[in-house]
Amino acid sequence: MKHNFEERKQNRIDYAQEQAAKNDQKADQLYNSAKQMADCIPFGQPILVGHHSEKRDRNFRNKIHNKFGQSFEAQNKAKHYEQKAETIENSTAIFSDDPQAIEKLKGKLTSLQSAQAFMKAANKCIEKKDKEGFLKIPQATEKWWDKLNTPDPMGRVGFAGYALQNNNAEMARLKKRIAQLENLAAKETTETTIKGVRLVENVEANRVQLFFTGTPADEVRKELKTNGFRWCRSEGAWQRHLNNWGVRIARELIEKL
């Protein structure tokens, strides 16, 4: 599955765009239909209370109201899918399924390390009021010097301590994630059968997969979904992301069968 990461991403974008277009068209059709129905009622014509046409007229007007409502609902759905397609396309999140995940994470880590070094060096220069030394730091500018020497609402200058702490915490998180992905990449796909169910630790797909001989019972499927497993038609398996916890959960689920 890793090898077609970009293809699957594009499929999600295409699907969202198709749904947006479909709902946009549906909204137009419903709106036009409701408008044509409304045009049949003379302008300002009230419901004739007590007349034999009252019930039919009320039902007709309710249908118009409902169609307008369905049109607005379809418009909202179209907007939702348009935003979803844009979010997927512009996302900078790094997914473990991405074959370039480790490389991208290392690049992000390098940027954070560079930022950390800059903040530390800048704070030292600001503390010493050493503008000349500050401007020798890579990335330093006159604009940065003025900005960092402007007191914040607490009267502090330079980079706040929490900025360095947060950046340091994010670097630690990235290092841990890189180590996890590198350990995973070093493993080989393994397979075992427990109670007739094939359990595959699929390194290439980055999934722990369960292959049943038939369709699992309703209660089993519910248990699988509750524990993060999803049915993948293309793989013919119930699966979730591959990690030690996922493998443990898979074994426990099988043992309960």
Is residue 189 a contact partner of residue 204, using CB atoms and an 8 Å limit? Answer: yes
**Does some domain include residue 44?**
yes
2, pLDDT greater than 70: no
Average pLDDT over residues 219-247: 93
Question: To 10 degrees, the CA torsion angle through 144, 150, 155, 157?
Answer: 30
Average pLDDT over residues 171-185: 93
Contacts of the segment 127-130: beta carbons below 8 A, 24+ positions apart: 127/158
Taking residue 59's Cβ as centre, other Cβ atoms within 10 Å add up to 10
Whether residue 171 is found in the same domain as residue 231: no
24-67: pLDDT as tens digits: 999 999 999 999 999 888 877 887 788 888 888 889 999 999 99
74-95: pLDDT as tens digits: 999 999 999 999 999 999 899 8
Average pLDDT over residues 186-200: 93
Residue 177 has a pLDDT of 94
Residue 48 has a pLDDT of 77
178, pLDDT greater than 90: yes
**Does some domain include residue 156?**
yes
Whether residue 7 is found in the same domain as residue 79: yes
CA angle 32, 33, 35 (to 5 degrees): 65
| Residue that the structure tokens 């179209």 belong to | 78
Of 190, 222, 196, residue with least CA distance to 209 = 190
In which domain, by residue range, is 30 found? 2-90
Taking residue 42's Cβ as centre, other Cβ atoms within 10 Å add up to 7
Collapsed DSSP state (helix, strand, coil) of residue 209: strand
Whether residue 178 is found in the same domain as residue 206: no
**Residues 97-114: b if buried by 16+ CB within 10 A, e if exposed:** bbeebbeebeebbeebee
Average pLDDT over residues 199-228: 93
Q: In whole angstroms, give the CA distance from residue 176 to residue 38.
A: 63
Is residue 216 a contact partner of residue 136, using CB atoms and an 8 Å limit? Answer: no
Whether residue 218 is found in the same domain as residue 196: yes
Whether residue 178 is found in the same domain as residue 196: no
Q: In whole angstroms, give the CA distance from residue 253 to residue 247.
A: 10
Whether residue 85 is found in the same domain as residue 53: yes
Q: pTM of the predicted model, to two decimals?
A: 0.70
Whether residue 170 is found in the same domain as residue 143: yes
**Does some domain include residue 95?**
no
Whether residue 6 is found in the same domain as residue 86: yes
Instruction: Name 31's Cβ contacts closer than 8 Å, sequence gap at least 6.
Output: 67, 68, 71
Q: Which residue has the higher pLDDT, 141 or 3?
A: 141
Whether residue 107 is found in the same domain as residue 67: no
What's the chain's Rg over C-alpha atoms?
A: 30
Q: How many domains does the chain have?
A: 3
Whether residue 195 is found in the same domain as residue 181: no
**Does some domain include residue 244?**
yes
Q: In whole angstroms, give the CA distance from residue 91 to residue 87.
A: 6
Query: Which structure tokens are listed for 182?
Result: 């590198």
Q: 209 - beta bridge partners?
A: 200, 239
Whether residue 177 is found in the same domain as residue 112: yes
Is residue 126 a contact partner of residue 134, using CB atoms and an 8 Å limit? Answer: yes
- Residue 7 has phi, psi (to 5 degrees) of -65, -45
Domain end, chosen from 43, 70, 90, is at 90
**Does some domain include residue 96?**
no
Residue 3 has a pLDDT of 66
**Does some domain include residue 29?**
yes
pLDDT confidence band for 1 (50 / 70 / 90)? low
**Does some domain include residue 22?**
yes
Whether residue 30 is found in the same domain as residue 59: yes
Is residue 112 a contact partner of residue 171, using CB atoms and an 8 Å limit? Answer: yes
**Does some domain include residue 38?**
yes
